[in-house]
Structure 1
């Protein structure tokens, strides 16, 4: 379609069916009316049936003020709702209001389209007696009790049919190629079942799938109803009205014919969107005209959001189980590989260990121009050409296809034995490969009608493509394809590639004389690396969780998390650049200022003696100053053009560093209405992890903070290189990101017993990382603990045990310079159940006093794993 064409007169043929502008049809369905209003509240367009509802003619309304049609109270309501529209795809709905001030109740929906406000109204269902919200809660409760994913599918369609009264409710799942399958169905007695049938991608064109993502529910009340045009069809610029988010939007003639061929007179759909992609649809069909009220449609939209989260959680759990099984096999293989010091060619001896990691029918190792094969593989003489084909693929990338013959013609010669290939490159020059093969899987696909049976026909607007007229089951035999490689298998193969390369490189470089010593060092390295990686993952997880609460959108959330992670990264870079040596205190502040507000750095004044900060304290201070800097730029003295920040430090009588942060000249300061994650970092990080002090105050003239760094983390530079009496830089309080509680849907895996497990208990949390401790503290509190006492050291934990009544304990194994093992004896003596949390991946030798059934959870831990371990420990303690 060219820019000069009118989309409302677009004709569809074989070349442009997937480009039909179904969001710009220029008409609505007849069960309501539409007003298009400018931002200065003038009527720009109306639906042609406006007189049927308002008694006012189209020509009388176009260009007139909205106040000529609607009362002041309604206009006030519309204005307030417009202000609440915060996203491009947002809409607001109001139910059961006297929209036209004539005593009739209407449901009203409004959204923004371009430079206009679209208001749609339809008569309320005054006979509706059941609260849609109550229905959704009831439906969700039943769904949460289902055991398997298929049970979830089946129960959801049963619930929807019961609530909506439609003759047929289908759950339709999309495949990667856009085709789809009916995976569950509930239908009226006497109807033909569609469950298990497949539908080609052309049945739901690309632009329709895109609309299903933007507008999560779609209703077609009566396919025989005559569409109601919108007047005028084009605006003064010649543009049609974009009805993407409209609830009344008319229906494509092609789709009307499609439904008519199926015998359907009314339909309704609810999108299932996962990770921003259209995973599937609930498709509801009725064989007579049927319309749900706007309020009921709104409730089913909420149901769609909830079922999307449930399905996503179930699928993620299944994926995680598959990955955990592959990881276990992978670790066993890598351990054996390391102990036997093989060459690339020797990898063929590990066929029995590799094939369970990547399930296959055959396995080959191609090394130094020679192939060693097991099971169903291409013939030996075909392997050199296959290797040359793989050489054309991207270097250092796993290559996978379930239809090798379609991309490599030479594979057709052995297609009866091999159809699928997954190749792992294990060297660069020459290219060597581990190859996994799968046999051809001859499939019989049941289609809902022949997917190739669309044909050209002549309709009211000339030649066009008609929908398929037969929906009887039609079978197609598919050959030349294997079982597809799953995402979990591809991830496992990538992890396998990295591990094999690491092992081979290490053994290639080591001599026989150094082998025994190097193996011991490697085991220690892997143990420490595993510990540090798990701690880092737990830290990042906590940052993400704690930063999401007040983010206004994806971009804002990304900026908040990115800023905090980058603050830690910059601190890490400064330390590692100097081989983990102490760094100047001033440089920490300068680094954050330069990174975040470099253009304003001349408005920050640093003064104080030349001090160095130990590497242990560096990342903590970097995060604290990051929060101070970012919030000053957002809310404090550096948020305008006049404010300044003064940072002064001195050494007190106890050799501690006392640092003052003072802002002035900016906007008036007000204490935040709620305590956020950033504020918590500033107030608790230095006392918790360094044993220092932190005080902040929100004075009207500007934010102020006082921090005390203990003597053991600082040292005075005897040969200062910089004078900080007037060095410019910037900062302020905290990005007040509230600690959000976990949402209920994040705890679907919890049983009813676990939900009451910690009710009223006092917990001792021993963790030396303040951010991880915040996350763990919130988790325990969200599951009913009365009080959580946090300790960063063994001595502090002993004091709490002596002074407080403790019912359970959660112990981090590694506390920096010590372990939490000395706490085992007093906990056992008092009969207090406890669980260890560790970043070490290997089997830890716990104290004998902990008993043979000691519970240990690896970082980063999942909520379910921790609760399960606590439950077992509590039950054992109770006998």
Structure 2
């Protein structure tokens, strides 16, 4: 019987966003521009008490309460972009029903409204649970440790039986790099999964929709019904949180023995780096608000992954920089590149490990070590151009034979390569080679048998076995790490500078212009990376001064917008000095309405160098938005006067005065916005900054050295620009860091008595960071007293309320033994409960590592 041919790409083409069904835990409505219901899921009656057939064709206000419709209308602006969704929690949808969590987004000209009944049970502050879990993931740890801590934290937060961190490889396959299971077992850790397990269109959806919950694998779901006028075209459910599940994926999960699953995307630089894969043996639903907290945790882990990989790139940059002086000394006066570069092979080996390298320059090939035949090396230019979809990118390949069949003949000595172009075209490049290594890979099932004929017909059908399948891999070299690839990129940037000098001596003016353009592109890329690093810092710092997700988003958005305006102005000026007046005008115009006429700028215009422009943009953004929110421009009468001047030494002075607004008081806390205003110019530009919160209005004086600013040619001494900005400023609500008392270092064993596991784990981590050798956790008075009697601790941290009991007996026993302890309470210092305790140091919840440092320093001194 002939072998049946199965198209392995059909799963990639499966329309998983057009399934026409929703999962049963939520209902879906689709309304048109006239707010008439065009589609409704068949379970609407069970969820909302209104049958789907009766809802079709009716105004939305007749299906859900008018107040809920009004709230949806107010949120429309946020979903004008079809890639955005808005989440609303605790919405009163219909009288007599409990609150609902609601998601809305645009899809094909319709507004999709998804409704989930708000979960009943013990009320909890979900976001408060996220904070200590986020603190447990730190980029300065090794990747496996970082991933393992994240998997453990997410399992606690989500309640799933198992959480895995799954990282994608370049070919779409993936590997489980961390696993945390409730049963403590290892099931998939270290195993590889073929690319067919998560097809292309599924990966594309993971980039658009960052969290996917399948609450019950056995749930048949509910079909989506359409009004007769809408035809039979299915809705695009790409961003629908209740979207039903592909039959192929359901079969896959059944084969794994899973009752529920959840996937959380891990993004880096806009691409899908990996997933949190959460599994449960039984159906498992978590409400929309907790899923939002889970998604926030995923964002923060993605950020930490970015910081971790940035640290690797930074080390590669530093290592590559050590080669620069030696390379430049040999190449500065050279008219031929190959010889000097090859002579540096040993030095380059310390940064980019290789078994051979070849240089192709000006049509000539020079090589050293284990390399392929010369004709093969010459052919690499076009091959790698195809792989990188153009010239100019460093490209790593672990198996050349997969892309060039002729490479199988020399795979033993040159299995893989790292291709480094050193000109804009395909003609000049450096290639590093590595020998073949024999590796054994563990797969979750045989990757060579990904298909069979099953209930899905003659098409890709999930495999039934996930037993470990070991494969001996030949024809591959050791993986090119991100560190090696980034170091090669730094080498390429250096070589571009050298190539330009050599090309100026050999080539025509046209050739020189082309190389200069390439250098400009490299410089722009470098600056963009610096801006991205700055944005990472803004994310981390902006969150410290905010208390809600909305406040954090508003603060961060304003600062990023200020940077974007500054960057746009610089690029319009071809990265030349740009106008300070224009920067001020753009900042106010971005937020101003009629208030623009109350801003007056006098004095000569200043041209600001690109190296200082973004720093000034952030400072002026904070000043402008503070004025709109709290200062002279927050009412109808105030004004802002900004005077620009230069002294004899060329120093620029910006004199900012606000008058006529409400009475001003200094901020109660010092946040990131205040830090930007007071420290950016002194720290980055070596200038000065002073801000006074006078009752009559804020006054600020900034000076910028002449090395960064110059008087604009032909600029008038007088003039005014208008603008105002009602934007958001995260720094307007500062945060105060507690003072440190003593060194706060701890020695010996610690004890944490706390009935919340998440808070207890966070506190234990904090005590270990302060020097504790070991920290035990107890959740009840009896358990704590038993631990104390068995092995008294050197110090302890006690929660006041342990569910149905209080920790007074534990405190009394510790006091009797002379063991110093700190009492943590959420009741406030005036609480009568505290009076029942022996004298002790008290901290308020939620506490931080800094709070504990000061508290234990006091407790140890008192002891």
With normalisation by structure 1, the TM-score equals: 0.60
Q: What does residue 270 of structure 2 align with?
A: 276
Deviation, structure 1 residue 68: 4.2
Q: What is the aligned counterpart of 1:334 among 324, 327, 347?
A: 327
Q: What does residue 198 of structure 1 align with?
A: 192
Q: What is the aligned counterpart of 2:343 among 346, 349, 353?
A: 349
**Is residue 211–residue 263 contact of structure 2 (8 Å, CA) maintained in 1?**
yes
Q: Secondary structure at the match of 1:120?
A: strand
Give distance in 2, aligned partners of 1:307 and 1:300.
11
Shift of the 86–302 alpha-carbon distance from structure 1 to 2, 3 Å rule, reads farther
Q: What is the aligned counterpart of 1:124 among 111, 119, 129?
A: 119
Deviation, structure 1 residue 111: 0.8
**Is residue 174–residue 280 contact of structure 1 (8 Å, CA) maintained in 2?**
yes
Deviations for 1:457-486, whole angstroms, at most 9, x for unmatched residues?
A: 3647x6443211222222333333323434
Give distance in 1, aligned partners of 2:687 and 2:205.
53
Q: What is the aligned counterpart of 1:51 among 36, 45, 50?
A: 45
**Is residue 580–residue 606 contact of structure 2 (8 Å, CA) maintained in 1?**
no
Deviation, structure 1 residue 307: 2.4
Q: What is the aligned counterpart of 1:185 among 179, 186, 191?
A: 179
Give distance in 2, aligned partners of 1:121 and 1:226.
17
Q: Secondary structure at the match of 1:19?
A: coil
**Is 1:307–2:301 an aligned residue pair?**
yes
**Is residue 170–residue 283 contact of structure 1 (8 Å, CA) maintained in 2?**
yes
Q: What does residue 289 of structure 1 align with?
A: 283
Q: What does residue 150 of structure 1 align with?
A: 144
Q: What does residue 499 of structure 1 align with?
A: 494
Q: What does residue 226 of structure 1 align with?
A: 220
**Is residue 218–residue 270 contact of structure 1 (8 Å, CA) maintained in 2?**
yes
**Is 1:412–2:408 an aligned residue pair?**
yes
Within 5 Å, which residues of 2 pair with 1:3-402?
16-38=10-32, 41-71=35-65, 74-75=68-69, 78=72, 88-95=83-90, 99-102=93-96, 105-114=98-107, 115-122=110-117, 124-126=119-121, 128=122, 131-144=125-138, 147-189=141-183, 193-232=187-226, 236=230, 238-328=232-322, 330-331=323-324, 333-334=326-327, 337=330, 344=337, 345-365=339-359, 373-378=367-372, 400-402=396-398
**Is 1:466–2:461 an aligned residue pair?**
yes
Give distance in 1, aligned partners of 2:450 and 2:362.
52
Give distance in 2, aligned partners of 1:573 and 1:274.
28
Deviation, structure 1 residue 118: 0.6
Aligned length: 683
Give distance in 2, aligned partners of 1:612 and 1:295.
50
Deviations for 1:715-760, whole angstroms, at most 9, x for unmatched residues?
A: xx9xxx98979x999654679673649999xx9xxxx999999xxx
Shift of the 728–487 alpha-carbon distance from structure 1 to 2, 3 Å rule, reads same
Deviations for 1:8-30, whole angstroms, at most 9, x for unmatched residues?
A: xxxx9755322222222221222
Q: What is the aligned counterpart of 2:399 among 403, 416, 427?
A: 403
Give distance in 1, aligned partners of 2:130 and 2:652.
58
Q: Secondary structure at the match of 1:63?
A: coil
Q: Which structure is larger by alpha-carbon Rg, 1 or 2?
A: 1
Q: What does residue 776 of structure 1 align with?
A: none
Q: What does residue 434 of structure 2 align with?
A: 438
Q: What does residue 564 of structure 1 align with?
A: 566
**Is residue 672–residue 731 contact of structure 2 (8 Å, CA) maintained in 1?**
no
Deviations for 1:568-598, whole angstroms, at most 9, x for unmatched residues?
A: 678898889xxxxxxxxxx98699999999x
Shift of the 574–375 alpha-carbon distance from structure 1 to 2, 3 Å rule, reads closer
**Is residue 546–residue 739 contact of structure 1 (8 Å, CA) maintained in 2?**
no
Within 5 Å, which residues of 2 pair with 1:420-459?
420-424=416-420, 434-455=430-451, 457=453, 459=455
Deviations for 1:216-237, whole angstroms, at most 9, x for unmatched residues?
A: 3222222222221122277625
Shift of the 66–439 alpha-carbon distance from structure 1 to 2, 3 Å rule, reads same
Shift of the 732–456 alpha-carbon distance from structure 1 to 2, 3 Å rule, reads same
Q: What does residue 832 of structure 1 align with?
A: none
Deviation, structure 1 residue 66: 4.3
**Is residue 576–residue 609 contact of structure 2 (8 Å, CA) maintained in 1?**
no
Deviations for 1:329-388, whole angstroms, at most 9, x for unmatched residues?
A: x23533663799796324433322122222101234567887664432235787667689
Give distance in 2, aligned partners of 1:213 and 1:34.
22
Give distance in 2, aligned partners of 1:506 and 1:282.
49
**Is residue 218–residue 247 contact of structure 1 (8 Å, CA) maintained in 2?**
yes
Q: What does residue 738 of structure 1 align with?
A: 729
Deviation, structure 1 residue 556: 7.8
Shift of the 293–696 alpha-carbon distance from structure 1 to 2, 3 Å rule, reads closer
Deviation, structure 1 residue 677: 7.9
Give distance in 1, aligned partners of 2:292 and 2:272.
19
**Is residue 26–residue 114 contact of structure 2 (8 Å, CA) maintained in 1?**
no
Q: Secondary structure at the match of 2:453?
A: strand
Deviation, structure 1 residue 35: 3.5
Shift of the 199–753 alpha-carbon distance from structure 1 to 2, 3 Å rule, reads farther
Q: Secondary structure at the match of 2:344?
A: helix
Q: What does residue 841 of structure 2 align with?
A: none
Q: Secondary structure at the match of 1:135?
A: helix
Give distance in 1, aligned partners of 2:396 and 2:116.
52
Shift of the 708–563 alpha-carbon distance from structure 1 to 2, 3 Å rule, reads closer
**Is residue 565–residue 586 contact of structure 2 (8 Å, CA) maintained in 1?**
no
**Is residue 661–residue 706 contact of structure 1 (8 Å, CA) maintained in 2?**
yes
Give distance in 2, aligned partners of 1:389 and 1:145.
36
Give distance in 1, aligned partners of 2:14 and 2:260.
22
Within 5 Å, which residues of 2 pair with 1:678-697?
none
**Is residue 398–residue 423 contact of structure 1 (8 Å, CA) maintained in 2?**
yes
**Is residue 657–residue 709 contact of structure 1 (8 Å, CA) maintained in 2?**
yes
Deviation, structure 1 residue 260: 1.4
Give distance in 2, aligned partners of 1:378 and 1:559.
51
Give distance in 2, aligned partners of 1:167 and 1:264.
10
Give distance in 1, aligned partners of 2:75 and 2:274.
31
Give distance in 2, aligned partners of 1:679 and 1:733.
22
Q: Secondary structure at the match of 2:436?
A: coil
Q: What does residue 815 of structure 1 align with?
A: none
Q: Secondary structure at the match of 1:457?
A: coil
Deviation, structure 1 residue 297: 2.8
**Is residue 215–residue 261 contact of structure 2 (8 Å, CA) maintained in 1?**
yes
Question: Which 10-residue stretch deviates more, 344-353 or 360-369?
Answer: 360-369
Q: What does residue 637 of structure 2 align with?
A: none
Q: What does residue 759 of structure 2 align with?
A: none
**Is residue 679–residue 733 contact of structure 1 (8 Å, CA) maintained in 2?**
no
Give distance in 1, aligned partners of 2:216 and 2:614.
65
**Is residue 130–residue 293 contact of structure 2 (8 Å, CA) maintained in 1?**
yes
Q: Secondary structure at the match of 1:479?
A: strand
**Is residue 113–residue 242 contact of structure 1 (8 Å, CA) maintained in 2?**
no
Question: Which 10-residue stretch deviates more, 15-24 or 588-597?
Answer: 588-597
Give distance in 1, aligned partners of 2:330 and 2:533.
32
**Is residue 267–residue 284 contact of structure 1 (8 Å, CA) maintained in 2?**
yes
Shift of the 229–190 alpha-carbon distance from structure 1 to 2, 3 Å rule, reads same
Give distance in 2, aligned partners of 1:17 and 1:536.
37
Shift of the 244–671 alpha-carbon distance from structure 1 to 2, 3 Å rule, reads farther
